[in-house]
Amino acid sequence: MSAEPHAIETRGLSLWYGSFQALFDVSTDIRSGIITSLIGPSGCGKTTLLRCFNRVNERYGNVRTAGEIRILGESIYDPDVSLIELRKAVGMVFQRPNPLPISVYENVVFGLRVHTPRTDLKRSVLDEAVEKALTEVGLWKDLKDRLKTKATGLLLEQQQKLCLARLLPLKPEVILMDEPASALDVGGTRAIEELMFELAGKYTIVIVTHNMAQARRASDECIFMLMGKVVEHARTEDLFLNPQNPKTAEYIEGRYA
Amino acid sequence: MAGRFAKTPHIARKEIAESVARSVFGLMSAAMIVPLVLIVGYLVVLAWPALSLEFLLDVPKRGMTDGGIWPAFVGTLYLVGISLLVSTPIGVLAAIYLNEYAKDNWFNRLVNLAVINLAGVPSIVHALFGLGAFVYAARFGYSILSASLTLAIMTLPVIIASTREALASVPMAFREACWNVGATRWQTVRAVVLPNSISGILTGVILQVSRAAGETAPVMFTGAVFFKAVQRGDLFPYGLGDQCMALSMHLYTLATQVPNVKEALPYATAVVLLGSVLLVNATAIVLRIWLRNRKKW
């Protein structure tokens, strides 16, 4: 864990898709080692904000940003920042589990293969990484005899855990989750949330969710966004029990969605 | 007393319209089979007396009025093979750029426009372009090289379009998975996009074989000739700078230019051309099925 109190800091962050402005002057600090949830109605910019943190939104076409983002104290828009290194440190899990159509084993070591010269990748190193990552997400026991099976044939819950496991060999500091449980059933959702609790502390987790109950259950701090702006950022308990902004109160009472 | 759910006259009329529509649409799709069966049947029946392995392997004799089609068959293999050797790498790489790298800006829109319009250019215009560009301007002369390059230009836009389609069919989620572990675009393309689109890409390329083999004008203007002396069954009779015979051109010659040809000869030539094309297409289909069964996501 890094010594920075805030894993992510944004200052005056604005973002445009073409001429459409999706984020307005977002300044917020996300603390290291805890789970922070981003909530708000559809189109409020929470996924956009999440995608800023590893600059992956630049791969989606005509995106322009202004302002500053610091991850672990480093400004990620500095010219000497390598997107490859940044994305190693800041991994992302998606709404639909997206295992690659290759074996479980190859999915887990995919990141290592991408980042390490082939000659340095000894079988033993890979084997160890696979066992460690799968153990960390609680899949090792179930899958250790099925490492060669295709990842796309697993249960959705296993697929999503595998997607998490795929990030771990790269030793990320921050894990971004974009509605990671919305494709899963109740049991799967619970399993993912429990996994988040286990990983928190070791990693800084930021989760986007539509599900307010989930934000409430599974996050330490909560950021409420509306129309591309951060309305309120507080401890989850405080935000739900004692919202400071009337708009937050209206949203969590379900008056708009 | 009609039952509660008995049909009213209005519904009865609708049901008649429905059955009429169904039979008309069905008839139209059945009509697709008729010309194919008729064409193939007609050709094979008329070609039958001449069809033999000897016809394929032998050279034309007695002022083209007898003998086989070997020089034309090999010529077509050369033209199609070389043209695809040129157009496939260019087309596939360009398509990868357009689909995986390019952002939506004026330059790429221009390229897209060029691809679409190039695909719509009639083959006779390609022929003229090839004549001007390769035969004269580039001084390749009337040669296999000029003819193949002309065919390559003709097939290129379609290869780009079909490759792009194949690439676009790979789910975005696979790319996202790669990007978010820090893979570069090229690593993403190599590790995930290409392995999952290769069947579509290959099919697109192979389908262009039949197009390149069948076109007459582009090769007639640039390198295919009326007659070329070749050894019977010789697999390497031509050099890049030589002129050659081609099946499509040979068919045209037999049908219109040579008096007293044995009646079955042009038909047999057509059967060989059609048969080779169908064979290649069938290979494409088998390959596609095989590769698709292998991937499964």
DSSP A148-210: TSBGGGS-HHHHHHHHHHHHGGG--SEEEEESTTTTS-HHHHHHHHHHHHHHBTTBEEEEE-S
Q: Which residues of A touch B104 (CB under 8 A)?
A: 61-62
For residue B57, the model assigns a pLDDT of: 81
Find the CB nearest B196 among A62, A101, A114.
A101
For residue B133, the model assigns a pLDDT of: 87
Asked whether the beta carbons of residue B297 and residue A101 sit closer than 8 angstroms, the reply is yes
For residue A1, the model assigns a pLDDT of: 47
Mean pLDDT of B189-209: 89
Find the CB nearest B181 among A61, A87, A101.
A87
For residue A108, the model assigns a pLDDT of: 92
What does R_g of chain B's alpha carbons equal in angstroms?
25
Find the CB nearest B177 among A83, A100, A115.
A100
pTM: 0.80
Q: Which residue has the tokens 């109605």?
A: A41
For residue A61, the model assigns a pLDDT of: 72
Q: What is the nearest CA distance from A242 to chain B, expressed in angstroms?
A: 36
pLDDT tens-digit map of B91-141: 999 999 999 888 878 888 888 888 888 888 898 999 999 898 888 888 888
Q: Which residues of A touch B192 (CB under 8 A)?
A: 100
Asked whether the beta carbons of residue A114 and residue B179 sit closer than 8 angstroms, the reply is no
Q: What is the mean pLDDT of chain A?
A: 89
pLDDT at A2 over 60: no
Domain B52-295 has CATH 3.90.1150.10: no
Contact between residue B186 and residue B93 where contact means Cβ atoms under 8 Å apart: no
For residue A222, the model assigns a pLDDT of: 94
pLDDT at B11 over 70: yes
Indicate which of A110, A112, A113, A154 best probes the interface with B, i.e. most B CBs within 10 Å of its own CB: A110
Mean pLDDT of B38-46: 90
Residue B181 phi, psi dihedral angles, 5° rounding: -105, 15
Asked whether the beta carbons of residue B180 and residue A92 sit closer than 8 angstroms, the reply is yes
Asked whether the beta carbons of residue A98 and residue B177 sit closer than 8 angstroms, the reply is yes
For residue B147, the model assigns a pLDDT of: 92
The interface pTM score, or ipTM, of the predicted complex is 0.80
Contact between residue B104 and residue A60 where contact means Cβ atoms under 8 Å apart: no
Torsion angle defined by CA atoms of residues B160, B161, B163 and B166, in that order, rounded to the nearest 10 degrees: 170
Distance from C-alpha of B93 to C-alpha of B105, rounded to nearest angstrom: 19
Asked whether the beta carbons of residue A166 and residue B174 sit closer than 8 angstroms, the reply is no
Q: Which residues of B touch A170 (CB under 8 A)?
A: 181-182
Torsion angle defined by CA atoms of residues A104, A108, A113 and A114, in that order, rounded to the nearest 10 degrees: 110
With cut-offs at 50, 70 and 90, classify the pLDDT of residue B25.
very high
Q: Tell me if chain B has a CB within 8 Å of the CB of A60.
A: no
The β-bridge partners of A80 are none
pLDDT tens-digit map of B130-149: 898 888 888 888 888 999 99
Would strands A63-71 and A6-17 be described as parallel, antiparallel, or unpaired?
Answer: antiparallel
Q: Which residues of A touch B183 (CB under 8 A)?
A: 84, 114
CATH of A6-252, one of 3.40.50.300, 3.40.190.80, 3.90.1150.10, 3.40.30.120: 3.40.50.300
Mean pLDDT of B247-267: 84
Q: What is the nearest CA distance from A228 to chain B, expressed in angstroms?
A: 23
With cut-offs at 50, 70 and 90, classify the pLDDT of residue A256.
low
pLDDT at A158 over 50: yes
Both tokens of residue B36? 């194919």
Contacts across the A-B interface (CB distance below 8 Å): 71
Indicate which of A62, A76, A100 best probes the interface with B, i.e. most B CBs within 10 Å of its own CB: A100
Contact between residue A131 and residue A214 where contact means Cβ atoms under 8 Å apart: no
Tell me the percentage of chain B whose pLDDT exceeds 70: 98
Burial class (CB in 10 A: 0-12, 13-18, 19+), B24: exposed
Q: Which residues contact B122 (CB under 8 A, 6 or more apart)?
A: none
Find the CB nearest A98 among B173, B184, B295.
B173
Q: Which residue has the tokens 């990868």?
A: B96
Find the CB nearest A98 among B104, B174, B296.
B174
Q: Write down the H helix ranges in chain A.
A: 46-52, 83-89, 104-115, 123-136, 140-143, 156-167, 186-199, 212-218, 236-241, 246-252
Q: Which residues contact A104 (CB under 8 A, 6 or more apart)?
A: A134, A143, A146, A147, A148, A149, A150, A151, A154, A162
For residue B125, the model assigns a pLDDT of: 92
Contact between residue B64 and residue B261 where contact means Cβ atoms under 8 Å apart: yes
Q: Which residues contact A176 (CB under 8 A, 6 or more apart)?
A: A50, A51, A53, A54, A90, A91, A92, A93, A206, A207
Asked whether the beta carbons of residue B177 and residue A163 sit closer than 8 angstroms, the reply is yes
Order of strands across the sheet that contains A20-31: A20-31, A6-17, A63-71, A74-75
Closest CA to A108 of A77, A86, A139: A139
Q: Tell me if chain B has a CB within 8 Å of the CB of A101.
A: yes
Closest CA to A219 of A202, A188, A242, A240: A240
pLDDT tens-digit map of A181-232: 888 888 889 889 999 998 888 999 999 998 888 899 889 999 999 999 999 9
Lowest mean pLDDT among A2-11, A149-158, B41-50, B73-82: A2-11
3-state DSSP call for residue B196? coil
Asked whether the beta carbons of residue B181 and residue A170 sit closer than 8 angstroms, the reply is yes
Tell me the percentage of chain A whose pLDDT exceeds 70: 98
Residue B53 phi, psi dihedral angles, 5° rounding: -65, -35
pLDDT tens-digit map of B150-186: 999 999 999 999 999 999 999 988 998 898 888 889 9
In B65-160, the DSSP E strands lie at 66-67
Indicate which of A87, A160, A177 best probes the interface with B, i.e. most B CBs within 10 Å of its own CB: A87
Asked whether the beta carbons of residue B182 and residue A115 sit closer than 8 angstroms, the reply is yes
The one-letter code for the residue type at B269 is T
pLDDT tens-digit map of B49-69: 888 887 788 777 777 777 778
Q: What is the nearest CA distance from B181 to chain A, expressed in angstroms?
A: 6
For residue B295, the model assigns a pLDDT of: 62
